[in-house]
Amino acid sequence: MHPLIPTVEDLAADSITHHFDDMIAPAGLTNMLGTVRVDHDLTAISAVQFPPVSQGLTQTAVLFVDGRLFASYGVPVTHEWRPDRVVRRAAADGLEIITTTVCVPGRTAVAIDIAVHNTTDADREVRLGLSAAARVTRSADAWLDAESPSARNTAHVDGERLMCGAADAAAWSVQGLAGGTAALSGVAELPDQFDTGIGGNGRGGELRVTLAVPAEGTARTGYVHAIGLTEQEAADAYAAVAGDVPGAVAAAEEFWNRQLRAAFDPDDPEFSGALPVLETASAPLRRLYWWAALGVIWFRRDFAGNVLGRSYDTLMPNYWGTTTFIWDYSLSSVSHALLDPAEMRNQVRHWISLDIHSHFGTSSLTGGPVGRWYSVNDYAMTRLVHDYVRFTGDTAFLDELVGDETVAASVRQWATAWKSLRRGTALADYGEIDNLLECVSSYTHEVAGLNAANVWSMRAAADLLDLHGDAAASAELRAEADALLPAIVERYLPGHGIFAAGQPDGTLLPVRHCYDFSVVGTSIADDLAPGIRAEMVEFFRRELQTENWMRALSPWDADASYSVRPDHQWNGAYPAWPADAGRALAALGAPEVLTDWIEGLSRSANQGPMGQAHFVEEAVPGVNGGARKAPPQLPYIIDWACSSSGAWIELIIEALFGVSVGVNGSVRAAGCVAALDPHAVLRGLRVADRYYDIDASGRVAETAR
């Protein structure tokens, strides 16, 4: 019997062994209250963030062994990630050191269990030292930059603990080693302008402990880093954990197994909904589904002071903490509607209350806007409301007033907003690089993908208007959608499988980017001639698809030399792009290309949650057969995990199982999953107040909860 609900062991990443500064993305951990980055060093951590307290990317707990910086030994370090922990291990100078790092459940704290094993036949004393640093601050504003705020701290010693406080005493960090001592740093403090590296040095002090390690025996200690808004709050959090670090490690395992169970249980109040359970003998299919589910759960944030009560962040652990991007959230739209519809409703209402044409996301600290306008926002918001209504059956949401307009009126405005962006042609001009893909300078202005999305958005809005019985308005939108189609098709380049983007000077620039392929394929496939569909598929296979991932931009595109940021360029792809491309393949009439690809794609689910980008192996060799996660350092600036992994849930439900859910609650299925497992079943798919089982043959059966 194959398991139906994963545990932390089922989701464990492959062990990764690497040397200092190898091309490895440092892993992250979370307890839904905050996040931490786990660095190469056996104990070093950075980006310890528990909103509203932040400290940028400051690194702390850097290890010294018998007075020597451990990284200077040059030995390989092995990392073993699971949702609840990261185990790091290495051997040097007759010692094997194994550390287990967790984000402590229910606490604004990180704990590390440190075990030192003596591999020699003589007793010895081992001096461990940790260089402790902090730049904690509580910003009065939203975190408006990619790196969270940090500020100079003042440190003092309290027994085994180092206490670091912000200048205004509004944020505190407490760090210590169990059974150890603390001392202020003997190295002079530097002015901020001389800090080196992103995050600054945040120099504070040193933590030391001497362990008596018997021959071929083991001795232990524990490190705790606690955060608080007051010195007492941070000290209390430290004390609650420091007395039993192994207990904190065990609690983290139970916490994460609970989250995974709850995500698939409609009766568990941890989430306001639940994902359907996948029953399959196909290991690649099961692995991708669980990988996708983890990547959504991972970003839930329930910290005190969250203005929405609960939200889902977009990236972690390095960048844009406390920010939810409209675009990325919409790429997991079906996942949010199934897993946590109450949160989704709240988030969508919040975005409607703001001007979605002036920012790319919002802060969970203030509720206010973050960043510039993204051109996808109208399409994203239409998709969110459409998916929320059709999966929850909450049609009353359309009649709710948000500001001066009903939700239904807002949907109609988003669906037709493109008209105000026309610049002398039938198509909308979506602006420059900063409004679109950021590192693809050819994908600008009158792009095919977003204009095709306008056709879909008008039809989706018409479906919602039909629920109101507004036949006239619905018919008008459908007619406008049909009228826009020819102008999009005119931009198709016969024989190439791609579209041209109209530029302000009237020229047409051929674009070989996956976003056109995916959005055109998922929004207007049925409106394209069979020859166009076939050529688009051939383009994808020829220029974008790789064995275990894909290129976002064809290396034959003239813009391929512009950037090496792998989320949108030739050397890799953003995590939603393979999933969306797979949905497009099915819609364009090539499901066999998708099903043949699944086994290779599943090999890339071996490094924890999906990264903001994975490299193709032409650019960087993979990790144990999987496409390697891209790292955060320049020039890549890619985060370790990204919330849009929910796009893969949509791939499995709507493409592989072929489930089609109408806004009226109708459920049909006609997919291609039988090519992977003819006996696969999706159990407990919730639509409105009913539950359905869908099998590989396309049979839809209503079932009891």
Instruction: Give the model confidence (pLDDT) of 32-59 as tens digits.
Output: 999 999 999 999 999 999 999 999 999 9
Separation of alpha carbons 373 and 351, rounded Å? 13
DSSP codes joined into one string, 433-495: GGGTTSS-TTS-SB-HHHHHHHHHHHHHHHHHHHHTT-HHHHHHHHHHHHHHHHHHHTTEETT
User: What is the pLDDT, as a whole number, of residue 186?
Assistant: 67
Find the mean pLDDT for residues 138-163: 93
**Three-state secondary structure readout of 652-692:** HHHHHCCEEECCCCCEEECCCHHHCCCCCEEEEEEECCEEE
pLDDT > 90 in the chain, percent: 94
User: What is the pLDDT, as a whole number, of residue 618?
Assistant: 95
Separation of alpha carbons 345 and 49, rounded Å? 27
Largest CA distance in the chain: 88
What's the pLDDT band for 203 if we cut at 50, 70, 90? low
pLDDT at 199 over 60: no
Separation of alpha carbons 562 and 440, rounded Å? 7
What tens digit of pLDDT does each residue of 91-122 get?
999 999 999 999 999 999 999 999 999 999 99
Mean pLDDT over all residues of the chain? 95
Find the mean pLDDT for residues 447-461: 98
* 619-624, Cβ contacts within 8 angstroms, sequence gap of 24 or more: 619/566, 619/570, 619/571, 619/572, 620/23, 620/571, 622/548, 623/14, 623/16, 624/14
What's the pLDDT band for 381 if we cut at 50, 70, 90? very high
User: What is the pLDDT, as a whole number, of residue 2?
Assistant: 74
- Structure tokens given for 666: 């109708």
For the chain, the residue count is 705
What's the pLDDT band for 202 if we cut at 50, 70, 90? low
